[in-house]
Amino acid sequence: MTHSRFSLLPWLRAIVALTTLTLAAQAGAQALKPVRVSEHVWYVQGDSGMASAANQGFNSNAGFVVTRDSVIVIDALGTPLLGDALVAAIRQVSDKPIRRVILTHYHADHFYGLAALKAAGAEVWAHQAGREYFTSGEAAARLAQRQKDLFPWVDEHTRLIEADRWLGGDTRFEAGGLHFRVSFLGPAHSSEDLLVSVEEDGVVFCGDILFAGRIPFVGSADSKRWLAAIDVLAGLRPKILVTGHGPHSTNAGADLGLTRDYLLYLREQMGKAVDEMTPFEDAYARTDWSRFSKVPAFEAANRINAYGTYLTLERESLAK
């Protein structure tokens, strides 16, 4: 009996795995709700927290623009099944061909859905600084982490797709009567941050330059350049700002405040610690985080952000 019981374990594991993947496929087919923000522009909004198995990796935004003869997509969400769901959301609005997807940056929550868009015929554009993501080992390390933390939404079959066209800087193009401006604003949140402006509608897609309604993920980002990028973005005075996370904004100057204030506070507190040569753990413990502690994603992101900022300010101090 003992031998017979244990001989069933591989079969039981296979059944569990098959059931899990079936549920994943069903969940991936769920409808994402397109939110219309202007005559030609829609987006889908992810959850406010960090990507997790509980939210199936759906914590970021992606948008699309319906022109006279095609659809232009901005970002691709964070799992292959979410990419399928994004295509389905686009098809709720338009059956025009999906010609192009522009990545604001190569972070996992914004591009793991690319396979579905490629299958629909889209050409992928991104800034050339994103190439380092693939050559540095970061892409492989992040994929391994996502396969562990987001299984079955990310698994051994998940493909990482590089851009078809790597942009060297700013560019403009016309599609179906609309004019688009792609502007390089990095390094800031990432090394390759792009803004995508739809000129006729006054809409700007800003990626993760703005995290609306949640603590931003900073990590090892260049927060000094990020703050400068926020100033540039505010100076554009867009009618509508579609964020990388959280709801869209119709008051960019005000809504950029949380991200700006949080970055400034990190730099102030960790900069003081570096100047006084206070060890990070002591500096973190003594800092009053109450202003931000109730904001979504604080628990998951704040210590990582503080440590990354501490190291960044150490490097800035040595460079002086």
User: For the range 293-299, what are the long-range contacts, defined as Cβ-Cβ under 8 Å and sequence gap of 24 or more?
Assistant: 295/213, 295/214, 295/215, 295/258, 296/48, 296/49, 296/213, 296/214, 296/215, 297/48, 297/49, 297/50, 297/214, 297/215, 297/217, 298/215
Express each pLDDT in 211-227 by its tens digit.
998 999 999 899 999 99
**What pTM value is reported for the model?**
0.88
Average of per-residue pLDDT across 286-292 = 97
Q: Mean pLDDT score of the chain, rounded to an integer?
A: 91
Residue indicated by tokens 């960044």: 312
Give the single-character DSSP code of 130.
Answer: G
CA pair distance 92, 162, nearest whole angstrom: 27
| Sign of the alpha-carbon dihedral angle for 226, 227, 230, 232 | negative
pLDDT confidence of residue 311: 97
Radius of gyration of the CA atoms of the chain, in A: 21
The answer to whether residue 282 scores a pLDDT higher than 80 is yes
The Cα angle at residue 212 between residues 206 and 215, in degrees rounded to 5? 115
Instruction: Specify the fold of 28-253.
Output: Metallo-beta-lactamase; Chain A (3.60.15)
Q: How many CB atoms lie within 10 A of CB 315?
A: 11
Instruction: Please report the sign of the dihedral spanned by the C-alpha atoms of residue 52, residue 221, residue 211, residue 263.
Output: positive
**123 in helix, strand or coil?**
strand
Give yes or no for a contact between 233 and 256, defined as CB atoms under 8 angstroms apart: yes
State pLDDT tens for residues 116-150.
Answer: 999 999 999 999 999 999 999 999 999 999 999 99
By C-alpha distance, which of 60, 158, 165 is closest to 122? Answer: 165
Contact 96, 70 (CB under 8 A): yes
* Per-residue model confidence as pLDDT tens digits over 74-126: 999 999 999 999 999 999 999 999 999 999 999 999 999 999 999 999 999 99
Residue 77 CA to residue 57 CA, distance in Å, equals: 8
Tens of pLDDT, residues 179-208: 999 999 989 999 999 999 999 999 999 999
pLDDT band at 30, cuts 50/70/90? low
